[in-house]
Amino acid sequence: MKWIYMLAFLFLPVVVSSQIQGEDEVYLSGDRIEAKFNGGGIENFSKFIREHFDYSKVKKPGKMVAAFTIDTDGKVKNIKLVEFIDSESAMEMFRVLNLSPKWEPAKRGGKPISIEIQYPMVFKNR
């Protein structure tokens, strides 16, 4: 039953922006290659979240948006919650994001770059 409630978040857009040497730049086209998670895209990351997130920590419906950086080494850093339901579900999201294995970093011109990802999750009534 939990899977049904989580399907909605798969269809929300993921906002990605990039940083190069501390300067904020958003790339709309060019030779940028997106970061990859376990050989795939955000779908693989969503699967990781679904498998590790303890949904019993979410007590009411709502939306949670996590923002984090994938650095040039592929590590998840600078985790923050832009929007959350309550402290228990927020702590669970922090826990799961800290479990995340390394990503293959995004690249521009063949060189790794840091990117920020905003990852939304929507929880429905049970």
8 Å CB contact between 87 and 38: no
Q: Whole-angstrom Cα distance, residue 60 to residue 46?
A: 21
Tell me what pLDDT residue 47 has. Answer: 95
Give the position of tokens 């959350």. Answer: 84
Q: pLDDT tens, position by position, for the chain (126 residues)?
A: 443 334 334 333 343 333 444 444 554 556 889 999 988 889 999 999 999 999 999 999 999 999 999 999 999 999 999 999 999 999 999 999 999 999 999 999 999 999 999 999 999 876
Q: Whole-angstrom Cα distance, residue 111 to residue 109?
A: 6
Tell whether pTM > 0.75.
Answer: no
